[in-house]
Structure 1
Amino acid sequence: MRALQHFILFAVIAYGSAAGSESSQEFGSAHKFYRVADGKADARTYNGYRRYHAGCNHCHGPDGVGSAFASSLVARPINIDTFRRVVLRGQSSGGNSVMKGFAGDPNFAPYIDDIYAYLQARADGALGRGRPERLKP
């Protein structure tokens, strides 16, 4: 699985360097998992929006802004490795706050990077609140 993730990241970086520069939020940047142009999101980021709002928003609030149950995922972004670990294994704050792991959930585990792309675009201000429009392929 780790090798596949590294290959995907390599492919994303290679795609971005060959694709030119649509905006400052490039898919090809080594640190960006999304591509947004004119307020429209690439397929990965759009899918991340869909997946996030299918389950994560119940605790983390609409558009990742947080709630009384769980923290904002856009105010204090974390790196992809930490995000993957927490989503897959879960995490406890030591108090009453506990996030279960989603490693066995076929609706979320395969799409962690898509969800991260969406949240990263939100944290960077590349996407506003609400359903984004999709970039044409």
Structure 2
Amino acid sequence: MQPQHLVLFALACGFALGSGGFSQDAAADKLYKVVDGMADARTYNGYRRYHGGCNHCHGPDGVGSTIASSLVDRPLDIENFRRVVRDGQSSSENSFMKGFADDPNFAPYIDDIYAYLQARADGALGRGRPKRLEP
């Protein structure tokens, strides 16, 4: 991915960093569930999928890199995130992110990746591989 494409991807995924636990009265729009630093299956899978490809440009744990922006600092809503990941986006001649609509490693898991990045942005998950909640 090119830096600018990743920036857009980051904006779609982006949220604030931090650490903490899951709030029982969390908003219904949260796709993740984190309890005592342990992530539900969707969020854990999002971590795995993110680190299977997105991290090459957006850096470990969504914090950004020299070629792409942080995905946890500037959040997009879920619909815009889905659109950018599926279709890609170009914001300038030097800023481009290809779309992943046809990539079987990412397209079916966009919401999982979003859940992981949302948990990172909200401070529910810290850096590194989260432990998985048992079903």
Aligned to 1:104: 102
Distance 1:31 1:113 in 2: 12
1:48 aligns with 2:46: yes
SS of the aligned residue for 2:72 comes to coil
Aligned to 1:66: 64
Q: Percent identity?
A: 77
What residue identity is the alignment partner of 1:24?
A: S
Distance 1:76 1:51 in 2: 20
Distance 1:129 1:23 in 2: 16
Question: TM-score, with normalisation over the residues of structure 1?
Answer: 0.80
SS of the aligned residue for 1:45 comes to helix
SS of the aligned residue for 1:92 comes to strand
Question: Does the CA-based 8 Å contact 1:43-1:135 persist in structure 2?
Answer: yes
SS of the aligned residue for 2:29 comes to coil
Mean CA deviation greater in 93-102 or 127-136: 93-102
Q: How much has 1:25 moved relative to structure 2?
A: 6.3
Question: Does the CA-based 8 Å contact 1:87-1:112 persist in structure 2?
Answer: yes
Question: Does the CA-based 8 Å contact 2:22-2:124 persist in structure 1?
Answer: no
Specify the structure having the higher radius of gyration (Cα). 1
1:23 aligns with 2:22: yes
Distance 2:115 2:24 in 1: 11
Q: How much has 1:95 moved relative to structure 2?
A: 2.9
Structure 1 stretches of 5 or more lacking a match?
1-21
Structure 2 stretches of 5 or more lacking a match?
1-20
Distance 1:25 1:107 in 2: 32
Moved over 4 A (4+): none
Aligned to 2:124: 126
Distance 2:24 2:65 in 1: 27
What residue identity is the alignment partner of 1:63?
A: D
What residue identity is the alignment partner of 1:59?
A: C
Q: How much has 1:23 moved relative to structure 2?
A: 3.4
